[in-house]
Structure 1
Amino acid sequence: MHLVYFANDLHDSAIERRIRMLLQGGASVALAGFHRQAEVPAKVAGLIPTSLGRTRDARLADRALMVARHTVAASTLTPLLDNADIVIARNLEMLVIAARVIAASGRSVPLVYELLDVHRLLAGDGLVGRSMRRLERWGIGRSAGIILSSPAFASEHLARHYPDLPPTILVENKILDLSSVRPSATAPAAPPWRIGWFGILRCRQSLTALAAIAARLGDRVEIDLRGVIGLPIADMIDDILARHANIRFQGRYTNPGDLQQVYGQVHFAWAIDYYEQGLNSTWLLPN
């Protein structure tokens, strides 16, 4: 089986994990997508990707223009579908592009929508939210299936807005472990108790809570922050690090390469998320 995968960010380690999973399952894969960093990755899971251009975090208007540009020029991307048995589109922006490319090709290649996050604007009741859902309804109407990372995305979002849905498949966002060797699970000595908050760090309420824990417990606790500092906490992170010697930001890590080391150095992993409380943060399954 030959798959074409449209990715929202070629630099995202979750994209590489999904491609590795598909390859391990026996599929051949062609990969195309946006990228957030300046340089296009040379390879993703051994594949040479096709760049659809650079996008930036929190620049939804810019991404919308990129999507519009590719939908207008969809015929230029139809060679990607050569020998394709199925197309997978990750997130709404890729769904729109992939659906237009399939239509421009004149072929009836099955399209699968991969829904892994529901942005607050997509769930909103304003003009922007309604417009985005019209696009999503249009794309879902052209899809043969939907891959979900949480069942709540179906019950709280899809079922609420779209009465006629194609079949859904639940694929939880877990570590792709292709080895038969289990890592050792030796915890570091305590105290101090070590708490780790890893990933794209956006949640102001989580950072405030961790700072309160650090202040209350003092040298009995150490808090490790690793990953990417998101825009919502960018204005507070420097002050918190300066005021709490027992909170440290240790930079980026690779997934899955560094996971054993990163998680092996802490006693507790902070998996609480209030960033979009009542919406995506309530519906997703923490990973």
Structure 2
Amino acid sequence: MLVTYLAHDLDDPSSWRRVEMLTRGGAQVRVAGFRRGDGPLPQPAMVLGRTANGRMVQRLAAVAAALPRIARLVPPPNGPEVVLARNLEMLMLGAALQRRRPLRLVYELLDIHAMVLGSGAKSRAIRKVEAALMRRASLVVVSSPAFLTRYLDDYGQPKIPSLLVENKPFAEAMPATLTPAPRPGGPLVIGWFGMLRCRFSLDALDRLTRAEPGRFKVILRGKPALDVLPGFHDVMAANPDLEFHGP
């Protein structure tokens, strides 16, 4: 089976974890999507353009410009094809592919833009577009049941079959038991890895370590979203119990 994975951000490591998961499951995976960063990608992918975090209007314009390019994806010579579209703008591209050939369209709903949650005309219009596209999909993939109950149900979006795939680490082989190394008298080490863009989490960890200096140490690795956390590096520099080790 060929899975065409449409990723809204090819520079997000979680997109490539999904590709790895699909590959381990036996699928042949090809990737297309937009970039927000620079540097080499882990695997070959069709780059459709560049987008910016949080800028929904710019992202929609980039999707419209990418429609001619997405049409160049050749259907498989035999066997089924599934298009897994990560987030709303990629669902638009997946639906465009579906109009050209038979395939199963899957909506991976992992981020909800604040603009979609409003009660104004613009928010209602975006949700109306999302609803129309969801009716073309066979499945919606979510990382938490709250996406179903607190968003899709609360806002009256179409009810289609859902699949819960929680954000958990996976590996080929794990030991039967994991025993933490003893740290007599040392700090409790907390790790925060990945896309670092939760203001609440950063504030909570900063307050926790300042409340009891030396009892906790927080190691951060990944890509801080400086548009959401503009003071990230200042917080790191001012708190000796917070350590940022880069991407």
What's the CA shift for 1:212? 2.5
Q: Which residue identity does 2:137 align to in structure 1?
A: S
User: Paired residue for 1:195, among 178, 190, 206?
Assistant: 190
Matches of 2:98 and 2:23, distance apart in 1: 22
What's the CA shift for 1:214? 2.5
Report what 2:25 is aligned to: 25
User: Paired residue for 1:77, among 72, 80, 95?
Assistant: 72
Map 1:53-64 onto structure 2 (within 5 A). 53-64=49-60
Report what 2:238 is aligned to: 243
- 5+ residue gaps, structure 2, are none
How many residues in Structure 1 have an aligned counterpart in Structure 2? 245
Q: TM-score, normalised by structure 2?
A: 0.86
1:8 and 2:4 are equivalent in the alignment? no
What's the CA shift for 1:233? 5.5
Matches of 1:9 and 1:141, distance apart in 2: 24
CA deviation profile, 1:178-205 (whole Å, cap 9, x unmatched): 2255685433514323233333222333
Matches of 1:141 and 1:28, distance apart in 2: 26
Matches of 1:58 and 1:163, distance apart in 2: 22
Preserved CA contact (<8 Å) 1:40 1:51 = no
What's the CA shift for 1:153? 0.9
SS in 1 for 2:146: helix
What's the CA shift for 1:42? 5.8
> Higher relative contact order by CA 8 Å / sep ≥ 6: 1 or 2?
1
| Runs of 4+ residues deviating >4 angstroms | 80-84, 180-184
Query: Residue 158 and residue 152 in structure 1: after superposition, are their counterparts in 2 closer, same or farther (change >3 A)?
Result: same
Identity of counterpart residues, as a percentage? Answer: 36
What's the CA shift for 1:223? 2.5
Report what 2:38 is aligned to: 38
Q: Which residue identity does 1:76 align to in structure 2?
A: A
Report what 1:132 is aligned to: 126
CA RMSD of aligned residues (A): 2.5
Matches of 1:91 and 1:82, distance apart in 2: 27
Q: Which residue identity does 2:197 align to in structure 1?
A: R
What's the CA shift for 1:161? 2.9
Query: Residue 206 and residue 112 in structure 1: after superposition, are their counterparts in 2 closer, same or farther (change >3 A)?
Result: closer
Matches of 1:209 and 1:185, distance apart in 2: 27
CA deviation profile, 1:14-44 (whole Å, cap 9, x unmatched): 222222222222221221111221346261x
Preserved CA contact (<8 Å) 1:87 1:109 = yes
Matches of 1:180 and 1:132, distance apart in 2: 43
What's the CA shift for 1:75? 6.8
User: Paired residue for 1:167, among 139, 161, 170?
Assistant: 161
SS in 2 for 1:118: coil
